[in-house]
Amino acid sequence: MGWPESFKSRGGVMAGAILTVALVTSGVLAKRSAESGEPEQAPAEALVGLVRPIEVQTIAARTPLAIAELLVSVGDEVKPDQRIARRDTAEEERRAATLSVAVEGAQQEVKFRQQALDTMEQSLHALVRKTSELSGELAIAELQVQQVPMRQARDSPDRARAAYEQAQIRARRADDLWKNGLIAQQELDDARLVVRLAADDLANARSASDASARLHDLEVLQAKARRELSIIEQRQKIAEQRAALERAQLQLKANEMQYADAQAVLADPFIHAPLAGSVLEMPVTAGEQVAAGGLIARIGRLDQMAVHVDVAPTIVNALHVNDRARIEVTAALFSAQAQIRSIAPLPNDAGTYEVQLVFANPAHARLAGLAARTWLALPARGSRS
């Protein structure tokens, strides 16, 4: 296999000079290969691929917009940050005014939610403090009640027990006196009746005391449960208010960002190129409405281009990243040295491996989309294992 005919001769003395240089160079390379033990490199047959830019950036509309004027066309070269189109700001002015009102409303909402949250937290703090104080006051009050000597509450069973015991003593004395004939039967019966009445009073006093104690305990538990429930409800309200405050803050931040974008558009209504290159695509027209995310332009670098070729599996293992190659774009009368940038690890549907080659294009020649023939340098046939 040899280089294409366009590289063999270009006529006259120039062809002879090129041939002489090629012979000398090949002799030197053969000598170096023999001395180093490396296999001699031989060019493979031409592979065809399309030329494309290595780096392409897309300009899309972040928000709905209207194109007022196009400042470049497809194929024009642009510099970084160059103006490529002008937006219609009428819609942005209306949008900015609407967003200004929305921002103000969101600020008021955040302020209101913050004040409500502060009030609830203060109320909860006061409720917890009051609950703690009431528990202490209740304990002191109960102790004071227990120390007061009165017939009610805890003292009632004790007094009833003393009266019952006293009645029993009198009844036994009356029984002794009756047996000795000192008192009448009626007096004995009266003493026994007093004992029964005292016993009944003692039972009633004990029941009343137990019922009062149970009622008091239940009232304490009920009051404690109500306070705890009130605290829980207050905390739930605080959590809901805090969540509402966070939503209001997020809404405020979103409105502020949108308002800042609208203000930035009004300050600079132009759309700028993100990098130096050529306008590859610009599907919009002046007066056109572009939806959010709609394509405005694609810009690609021209100083470095790439060619993708499909390589057979029989020779792909002989290639390495950074290996040199040569490309020729016949339609543009362009040729250059190239370098392997990447080799696909897996085959495609056709069973071949995609190899990307890159080459410099300092003159910014219009090569994108053109077919390029590529020659890869492979080890000589005799040296393959």
The yes-or-no verdict on residue 347 having pLDDT over 90 is yes
Are residues 260 and 308 both part of a single domain?
no
The domain that holds 210 is classified in CATH as 1.10.287
Is residue 49 assigned to a domain?
A: yes
- How large is the average pLDDT for residues 157-183? 83
Is residue 360 over pLDDT 90?
yes
What pLDDT band is residue 218 in, cutting at 50, 70 and 90?
low
Q: Looking at this protein, which amino acid is placed at residue 366?
A: R
Biggest CA pair distance of the chain: 175
Same domain assignment for residues 45 and 1? no
**If pLDDT is split at 50, 70 and 90, which confidence band does 20 have?**
very low
Residue 32 has a pLDDT of 39
pLDDT at 294: 94
In a domain, 106, yes or no: yes
**Mean of all residue pLDDT scores within the chain:** 78
| Residues 231 and 107 placed together within one structural domain of the fold | yes
- Residue 351 is part of a domain; what is its CATH number? 2.40.30.170
Contact 51, 372 (CB under 8 A): yes
Residues 110-146 have pLDDT tens digits of 888 888 888 888 877 777 776 666 555 555 555 555 5
Q: Identify whether 111 is part of a domain.
A: yes
Q: What is the pLDDT of residue 261?
A: 81
Closest to 59 measured CA to CA, from 265, 267, 272, 305: 272
With beta carbons less than 8 A apart as the criterion, state whether 308 and 318 touch. Answer: no
Higher pLDDT, 325 or 99: 325
For residue 171, what are the domain limits?
93-265
**How would you classify the pairing of strands 41-43 and 371-379?**
antiparallel
How sure is the predictor about 21, in pLDDT bands with cuts at 50, 70 and 90? very low
